[in-house]
Amino acid sequence: MASRHEGYRRLCRRKVLFIAGFMILTAVVAIFSLNVGFYETSFSQVFDVIWSNLNGQPVSSRQDQLIIWDIRVPEALVAIMTGAALSVGGAVMQTVLRNPLADSYTMGISSGAFFGVTIAAIAGISILPGVGGNLATVFNAFICSLIPVALILLISRKRRMTPTKIILIGIAIMYVFSAVSTLLMLTADSETLADVYAWRVGTLSQVEWGHVGIIFVFVTLGLIYLMLNNKKYNLMMAGENCAQTMGIDTKRTTLTSLSIVSLVTAAVVSFTGTIGFIGLVGPHIARIFVGSESKYLIPASAAFGAAFLLVADCVSRVSGTYGLPVGVISAMIGCPLFIIILVKMRSKEWA
């Protein structure tokens, strides 16, 4: 009987190989990225610093310690987690909402977060009392970015939701948030405006070790949850009615997975700003190699997204004294990639 399934098994092995390949690539790029930057280091230095820190020994060079352990290592870790989170978020959104244009920001997360940042930076309002400065921005962004999804959950109690409606409500909320942000920004002085914009474009250069832990908790828990539910997402692709007849509570699956994706994305975005394109392009590229089956698509997206953002981060670090923000690099690489995919794809699968 085994030979009957040989073709299918071989296909699966190829998918696993792709995922493993990209994971290895991520690891290699991660190590490489610790050497990339304005301050020149060698591999032995990097190795030394990491080894010492892991063993709790003091590092000989203070500058090495600062640049490698306190700046580059957390940046690489956050890049990996951010890339994986955004890309998987996009994959799940595209599957659950059955829309190739969905990404992890579809629910209006980016505009919500941006609104939170503007009220912190311009109006000086902190939603959590007793928090100030940078932390207020982060908390505001996190809380506000969850408002859209909360609204959608609220509306869904009253009315039947279809994927299209969810997307459209997300768009409408996004417009309202942007309108309020715009009004606030009109009153801002030009310096503050510049700060707000710098946040919006998305950057990894601000991360610290303290952020890594928080992001790690959200991202791992979120990804594990999504991975455990992969079977459901496959069935969701068949359409709401079909999935229902196969024993899936589609409404609950949709809403919980949207909430999980939003939580993870919000956690990431609050620290890094809105890095675009990975959530859209990542899953599409992963799909070329492993197909649309969620069991493979989710890990493949994660692996690809992590590698992609790490590379973008490296490019951003070598791109000049001030450096292009990683969000811009991601768009510059992502947009042509996306168009090439469309040209190559031609098939009717999504387009």
Partner 1 sequence: MNTVKRTEDIDFKQNYKREITKKVSFVVCSLVVLVVLAVLSCAIGTGYGFFETYQIILDHIMGVVPANKAEWWADHYVWENVLPSVVAAIIAGAGLALGGSVMQSMMGNPLADPYTTGISSGACFGAVASITLGLSFSSLGGEMGIVAMAFVGALVPALMMILLSKYINTSPSTLILIGTAISYFFNAMVTYVMVIADADALQDAFIWQIGAVSDLHWSDIPLMLCVVAIGSVLIMVVSNKLNLMMMGDNSAKTMGLDVENFRMLCLILISILVASIISFTGIIGFVGLIAPHITRFIIGGDNKFVVPAGMLMGAIILCLADLASRCLLDYGNVPIGVVMSFIGAPVFLYLVTRSKSDKEVF
Please report, as ranges, the residues that interact with partner 1 according to CB under 8 A.
98-101, 155, 159, 162-165, 167-169, 171-173, 175-176, 178-179, 182-183, 185-186, 189-191, 193-194, 197-198, 200-201, 240, 276-277, 280, 322, 324-325, 327-328, 330-332, 334-335, 338-339, 342-343, 346, 350-351
CB of 95 or CB of 126, closer to partner 1: 95
Q: How far is the CB of 177 from partner 1 (least distance, A)?
A: 9
Q: CB of 144: closest distance to partner 1 in angstroms? A: 16
Nearer to partner 1, 19 or 309 (CB): 309
Is residue 133 within 8 A of residue 140, CB to CB? The reply is no
Q: Inter-axis angle of helices 230-237 and 73-96, to 10 degrees?
A: 40
Q: How far is CA 91 from each of CA 81, 109, 198, rounded to the nearest angstrom? A: 15, 16, 27
DSSP state of 69: I
Least separation in angstroms between residue 255's CB and partner 1 is 16
Nearest residue (CB) to partner 1, 34 versus 207: 207
Give how far the C-alpha of residue 176 lies from the chain's centroid of Cα atoms, to the nearest Å.
23
Nearest to 291 by CA among 7, 4, 15: 15
Q: How far is the CB of 118 from partner 1 (least distance, A)?
A: 12
Cβ distance 33 to 314 under 8 Å?
A: yes
Min CB(95)–partner 1 separation in Å: 14
Nearer to partner 1, 101 or 125 (CB): 101
| Residue in this structure with the two tokens 């000049």, named with its chain if needed | 320
Work out how close the CB of 176 gets to partner 1 at its nearest, in angstroms, rounded to a whole number.
5
Torsion from C-alpha of 147, 153, 157, 162, nearest 10 degrees: 130
Between CA 98 and CA 242 the distance in angstroms is 13
CA distance readout (Å), 81 to 106, 272, 325:
19, 11, 17
> Of 40, 114, 55, which is closest to residue 105 (Cα–Cα)?
114
Compute the least distance from the CB of residue 325 to partner 1, in Å.
Answer: 7
CB count within 10 Å of CB 212 equals 18
Of 2 and 343, nearer to partner 1 (C-beta) is 343
Closest to partner 1 by CB, 222 or 327: 327
Please identify, using beta-carbon distances, which residue of 200 and 232 lies nearer to partner 1. 200
Amino acid at 36: V
